[in-house]
Amino acid sequence: MPALFLGHGNPMNALHENAWTRAWAAIGTALPRPRAVLAVSAHWYVPFTAVTAMASPRTLHDFGG
């Protein structure tokens, strides 16, 4: 399984059609479907290590910094 490390850039890229989103779409079609996804965020601060391990975790919107 290939490993891919990306920064998300501007959150508005999720809504726009531009070179950035076209490149992400091309990467998505070129790689095999992942068996697992690990997301690491510097935006979520807790005083302990936390792991989410469920099929459909709830969405957290953190646009504050």
- pLDDT tens, 29-62? 998 888 888 877 766 677 888 787 888 888 777 6
Q: According to the model, what pLDDT value does residue 44 have?
A: 65
User: For the whole model, what pTM was predicted?
Assistant: 0.48
d(C-alpha 2, C-alpha 33), whole Å? 10
Within 10 Å of residue 13's Cβ, how many Cβ atoms? 14
Confidence at residue 43, expressed as pLDDT on a 0 to 100 scale: 66
pLDDT confidence band for 64 (50 / 70 / 90) = low
> From the centroid of its chain, how far is CA 1?
17
